[in-house]
Structures are given as structure tokens and as C-alpha cells.
A and B are shown apart, each in its own frame.
Chain A
Amino acid sequence: MNELETKIRAEAERLLSEGLVDVVIAFRQEDAPLHPQPAFFTQVEELESLTYNGMCANNLANYLTRYPQETRIGMVVRGCENRSVNALIVEKQHTRENLVLIGIPCEGILDWRRIVALTGENVLSVEEKDDSVIVHTRENTFELLRIELLHPSCQRCLHPNPLSADILLGDPKPEGDPHLMRLRIEALENLSLEERNAWFRHEAERCIRCYACREACPMCYCTECFVDHTEPRWTESGVTPAGMQAWHIIRAFHQTGRCTSCGACERACPMDIQMTYLTDKLNLDMADTYQFEVGMDAETQPPFATLTLDDKNRFIAQGK
């Protein structure tokens, strides 16, 4: 049990025992050593099983839209999760007054795939100790460097510190370097048109339309997703190229100005598709064109929701 876990439990206990929230959303270590589970605590007695560590890979803001706005929710949030919460509040999907955000400055999420690539699949436990990660498998013990196991989105993270937490547990971490995300996108932009298309088709073609990316994403909360719309039917539902490509293109585009680059989609994908290359590009465009970064407060509307006549000089008559 680490120090941060103790502090989170204490805060959760306070919130529940004083009746300040109806539920605390955090994580719990269940049976999968590599995947702690999102957990929903309503009783103080349950808090014994609350866990928090680098293997906690889901964006908890995803669960906010499952609750009515009257529900008072205490939630553990890292930097990206806090921004997702803000984005949801801007979209009126929850009310700030009914949230108690337990902020954790984040050191980055460990990518279970990187661990398994180094240790093999039979992992029994994962422990973090300063800069190391100790992995016990059925056959062996490995000591790995934390920095080498970070999920790519976390390596490029801009804002690891929750911006608007009600309580901050842990020391603030340095802000991220915006160049890292830009470099990755520029590397793709600098490829030829054919190469970019080839990369896009390559990443899309192993998609199995499981929609784990959608379900893991806090901003995908539509009661009817465009792929399920039937009159008319815009997107093929199977694994034909048209269907898979349309899915990737439109889901990413629906995230424009809404995605916090948390990477939960990539971590959920069973086929290891690195779809953040689509959303990160759109996020950069929003930053460059509209000086907009989602989730930095709970008021600013995203660019596609703010229409202004000033745009008439922004776009020239032909082309863009």
C-alpha cells in the first residue's frame, strides 16, 4: 500500500462518512494484475480495497455521464481526467457543484503492453518503487525503468496536474513539453500524401469495430452513436475498408476541440491501434487556429460551438 493510496482512502472516507458525496469513483485492484478496475465506493467499509497506482489505465471521467446530475460524486482525477471533467461540464453533462475532485498530480500511466513485451504474459504482480517497476511473473522477477514503460500519451502529456481539484494530494509535477506532441504530428504531416494515406489505412484495417475506444472515452456519451443510426445509414458496420475508415475518421472528428489526449482509447484497443495520431492532430489544429485547449476551465466553449462573424476574414473564398 503506497502513501498516496492511504491519502486517497482517507479523503474518500471523509467524503463518505460526512455524507458529502453519494459515491466515490476510484480504482480497485481485483484479479487482473495488469488492470486495476474502476471502482464505485458507497460505503466506508469498501474503501479497504481502494487502490491507486501507475497501472490505473482508465479515464474515470468516462463514468460521470452514467450518473444523473444530482448525484454527488467524489472522484480521483489526474491531469487529463480533470480536463475531461471540465469538458463535460462545459457540455452540461454534469454540474461542478455536485463534484468533489480528489486531484492527483500524475506521473504517467504504465502501458501494460510494454511490460508484457519485456516480461512475458504471466504477470502476477506489478509494484512501483521510485523510478523502478518490479514485475513478478510466474517464472521470473524483473526490475524495469518506469520511464520506459510510460504509455505514449503520457510521455507527451502537457498537463499532469489537475487544474481544478478540490483537494490536491501529492506534489505537483512539471508541465509537459508541447513540442513532443507537435513533433509526432509533424513527422506524419511531413510524409507524402500517399504515405499518410498508407499509414491511415494500415492503422484502420485491423480494427474489429469493438468500440472499446468509444466506450473508454469520456467524451463519447451520445445515446445513439452515428454508427448505430439507421435512417439513413452512413457507415458500414462491418470490417470493410469503408466501414473501418469511416469509423476512425468520424469518431476522431467528433472529438475536435473535446479530446484531452488522455490516450484511454489507445489503452483500451485490443488491436493496438494508435488512433491518437488522429485526435492529436485535430487538437493541434484547434490550438493553432483558435488558440483553444479543451478542459483548461469549465466555461470556455469549444471552437465548433462558438460561431462568430469574425470568421469571415479567417477563411479565404476558395479552398480553406
Chain B
Amino acid sequence: MSAPPIKIALFQCRWCLYSPEDQAWVDNDLPENIHLVKVPCTGRIDPLFILNAVQGGADGVMISGCLPEKCHFKEGNLAARRQLAEFGSFLDYIGYEQARVRFVWLDLQDRGRIQQELTAFETTLETLGPAQALATRASAPMGGADE
């Protein structure tokens, strides 16, 4: 009896992987349990995106973006850092562990790091187990939700 595969939602800023090999790996060889959403900047990530992934059953959400002073759009990742960090903390408050929301801020010398981060993240999530708390995208029961 094997455990169900850990599901990870990866929101990747399209500028943060400086190495073409890394980007090619993410684009073509990403393991099946990792769902990629590429964004033009981490500043584009609305908490709704993360919540949607979580409600859909993501056991973990990784956000990979550029270092604060290296944002392609100058300040996008600064907005992301404040809002999404607080959102991760808020999700913990209502029952989705903060450790399931991980930020990776990448720089020129971080080639290969994305694979390592994902592997490490998967290990952490395996310890935490599948996320039940907010994975609520369940059907309205046939027969309705009456009171």
C-alpha cells in the first residue's frame, strides 16, 4: 500500500531561473505530481491563486521568484513578499500549516537549486502528510445543501 503522491503547486516567476537547463527541466521534465503555473512575476500571484490550489488539494505550494533587488519589474517581488508571506501565515491560522507554503528567492548562482528545493519540499510534505484541512472543492451533494 503506497501513500498517495504528494501534490505540489509550483508558481514560478518566468524570470527567476537563470539557467536554461533549469527552465527546460521545469517546462518539460517536471514530475507529474508537481503542477506548474508560470507567472510573469511573483507580484502577479494573487492569494486567490494559492487558495485555489489549496482547495483543489495541493499538499504544498511553492513560489519561486527573484531576489528582492533583482525583480525584472523592479518591485513586483516586494509586493509578493509582504502579501504572500502574510497569506501563508493566515492559512496556518485556519489550519493549513505554514510549512506547506514555501518561498524560494533565486539568484544567478542558484543553478540547479530549483530541483533541490522541490525535492526537499517534497520530503517535508511527506512528513506532514496529505493536506486535508482546506481541500474542500467537493460537490454540492446531489440533493443540495439544505438546512
* A and B form one complex: yes
CB–CB A196/B90 < 8 A:
no
Q: Which residues of A contact B (CB under 8 A)?
A: 188-189, 193-194, 196-198, 200-201, 226, 234-236, 238-242, 245-246, 249-250, 252-253, 256, 278, 281-282, 285, 289, 303-304, 307-309, 311-312, 314-315, 317-320
Indicate whether A249 sits within 8 Å of B90 (C-beta atoms), given known contacts A194-B95, A197-B133, A238-B140: yes
CB of B47 within 8 A of CB of A250, answer: yes
- What distance in Å separates the Cβ of A227 from its nearest Cβ neighbour in chain B? 10
Jot down 10 A-B pairs with beta carbons below 8 A, ordered by A: A194-B95, A234-B51, A236-B137, A249-B91, A250-B51, A278-B93, A285-B89, A304-B79, A318-B102, A320-B103
**In the complex, which of the residues A245, A282, A304 contacts B90, with contact meaning CB atoms closer than 8 Å?**
A282
Indicate if B1 sits at the interface (CB-CB under 8 A): no
B93/A196 in contact, CB under 8 A? yes
Q: Which residue on B lies nearest to A316, using beta carbons?
A: B103
Q: A256-B86, A315-B81 are in contact. List 5 more A-B contacts (CB 8 A).
A: A197-B134, A246-B51, A250-B47, A309-B68, A320-B85
> B residues within 8 A CB of A201?
95
* Across the A-B interface, the 5 shortest Cβ-Cβ residue pairs: A197-B95, A307-B78, A312-B68, A241-B136, A200-B94
| Cβ 8 A contact of A318, one of B68, B83, B104 | B104
Residues in A with CB closer than 8 Å to B133 are: 193-194, 197
Q: Which residues of B contact A278 (CB under 8 A)?
A: 90, 93-94
The distance in angstroms between the C-alpha atoms of A319 and B60, with both chains bound, is 11
Identity of the chain B residue whose Cβ is nearest the Cβ of A196 in the assembled complex: B95
Cα A285 to Cα B82 in complex, Å, equals: 11
Identify which of residues 63-107 in chain B touch chain A, using a CB-to-CB cut-off of 8 Å. Answer: 67-69, 75, 78-79, 81-83, 85-99, 101-105
B52 touches A240 (CB 8 A): no
Residue B3 is within 8 A (CB to CB) of chain A in the complex: no
The answer on a CB contact under 8 Å between B95 and A193 is yes
Given contacts A193-B92, A234-B48, contact A285 B86 (CB under 8 A): yes
Query: How far, in whole Å, are A278 and B133 apart by their CA atoms in the complex?
Result: 17
What residue of chain B has the Cβ atom nearest to residue A281's Cβ? B93
CB–CB A188/B93 < 8 A: yes
Interface size class of B (residues with CB under 8 A): 35 or more
- What residues of chain B lie closer than 8 Å to A289, measured between beta carbons? 86
Report the separation of the CA atoms of residues A283 and B96 in the bound assembly, to the nearest whole angstrom.
20
Residues of B at the A interface (CB closer than 8 Å) are 47-48, 51-52, 55, 67-69, 75, 78-79, 81-83, 85-99, 101-105, 117, 133-134, 136-140, 145
Q: Do A189 and B85 touch (CB < 8 A)?
A: no
Q: Across the interface, name the chain B residue whose C-beta is closest to A320.
A: B85
Among A240, A242, A249, A318, the residue within 8 A (CB) of B103 is A318
- Minimal beta-carbon separation of B142 from chain A (angstroms): 13
Partner of B140, one of A234, A240, A319: A240
The CA-CA distance from A319 to B136 in the complex, in Å, is 24
Q: Is the CB of B94 within 8 A of A196?
A: yes
Query: Which residue on chain A has the smallest CB distance to residue B100?
Result: A319
Report whether A234 and B52 are in contact in the complex, using a CB–CB cutoff of 8 Å.
yes
Select A304's contact among B55, B83, B145, beta carbons within 8 Å.
B83
Residues of the A chain whose Cβ atoms lie less than 8 Å from the Cβ of B95: 193-194, 196-198, 200-201
Contact yes or no, B48 A309, CB < 8 A: no
> CA–CA, A122 to B89, complex, Å?
45
**B69 lies within 8 A of A309 (CB):** yes
* Residue pair A317, B104 in contact (C-beta under 8 Å): yes
Q: Is the pair B68, A193 in contact by a Cβ cutoff of 8 Å? A: no
A192 CB, nearest partner CB in chain B, Å:
9
Chain B minimum-CB-distance residue to A192: B95
Q: Which residue of A lies closest to B132 (CB)?
A: A197
**Contact yes or no, B145 A319, CB < 8 A:** no
Contact A246 B55 (CB under 8 A): yes
Closest to A254 in B: B47
**Set of chain B residues within 8 Å of A318, measured between Cβ atoms:** 102-104, 117
Q: A196-B95, A238-B140, A312-B69 are in contact. Are A245 and B83 (CB under 8 A)?
A: no
- CB-nearest residue of chain A to B133: A197
